[in-house]
Structure 1
């Protein structure tokens, strides 16, 4: 199934696939404090190595049809803001559809993650991709937790260092 948001738009954002030439624009994320922990990467990796792993995983998801992160571009400035998308995750041996989001540090606290996450939720439910959606968030990542709560999600459970927030389609609207 194609869970990608290509050619979707919100009031401030347009979405497209990640390209290899986006590497330098995305690298600043991996220089942020705690990002390895929040994204479940080995903290011994350099920012370049983490970014390489991100690209490898993202492009592999595209190839396998497992959804993926879409680049978010500001409609007015054409600046690269971050990535957001619908991803298939395995939670307790069950495939679940996740709303994932990562924003470049210079754009934190500007509402972009909330705007993009709301689009993901609406897109998934309108297209009947799943009866429920999750966001898997590191227990210390308060900013991402606030986005999940604003998106109508509630804490479902905690697995290791990650909280699983969810929303059912019946509660959407």
Structure 2
């Protein structure tokens, strides 16, 4: 099944696929001190090497034809805001559907990640995508990434467990929301 959201939108942004010519626009996110660490990248990579890894993984996901990050474009200004998407991941040995989001520094603390995460959550449950993943969605977040933790909590998620991966030395947390909780949120 394809979980890409091309053509979907939030209140302030539209989604489209990442293009190779987006590289220079996306590069500044990796110049921020903690971005690579928060994304679980190998330590010691330059900003350009981190961006290379990001693009390689993004196009690998697209080529698999199942999931990936979508570029968020501001509806009024046509600016590239960030990326968000539904990602098929193996989390603690189980196939899970992750709500992922990364926003360019210029747009931090403006609610774009929250807006995208809620839209992704709602689309996943409305379309029944969660049924292939234990009736739940997750976000895997570095323990020090307070901004992303706040987005997950805003999205109705709660702490499920630590993320276990022997190749990563930092502590990551798994936040999740199940269908029953989502249905209650939508009812309220």
**TM-score normalized by the length of structure 1:** 0.98
Pairing 1:129–2:124 present = no
Supply the distance in 2 between the matched residues of 1:150 and 1:159 (Cα, whole angstroms): 20
**Deviation (angstroms), 1:170:** 1.3
Q: Which residue of 2 aligns with 1:146?
A: 150
**Deviation (angstroms), 1:16:** 0.2
Runs of 4+ in 1 over 2 A off after TM superposition: none
Q: Which residue of 1 aligns with 2:176?
A: 166
1:82-141 per-position Cα deviation (integer Å, ceiling 9, x unaligned):
000000110121100000000001110000000000110011011100110000000000
Q: Which runs of 5+ in 2 are unaligned?
A: 165-170
Q: Which residue of 2 aligns with 1:57?
A: 57
SS in 1 for 2:129: coil
Deviates more, 1:43-52 or 1:107-116: 43-52
Pairing 1:73–2:83 present = no
Supply the distance in 2 between the matched residues of 1:46 and 1:92 (Cα, whole angstroms): 29
Supply the distance in 2 between the matched residues of 1:18 and 1:36 (Cα, whole angstroms): 19
**TM-score normalized by the length of structure 2:** 0.90
**Does the 8 Å contact 2:4/2:66 carry over to 1?**
no
**Deviation (angstroms), 1:66:** 3.3
1:136-170 per-position Cα deviation (integer Å, ceiling 9, x unaligned):
00000000000000000000011251110000011
Q: Which residue of 1 aligns with 2:6?
A: 6
1:3-46 per-position Cα deviation (integer Å, ceiling 9, x unaligned):
01100011100000000000000000000011111001122111
**Deviation (angstroms), 1:65:** 2.4
> In angstroms, what is the RMSD of aligned CA positions?
0.8
Supply the distance in 1 between the matched residues of 2:10 and 2:45 (Cα, whole angstroms): 34
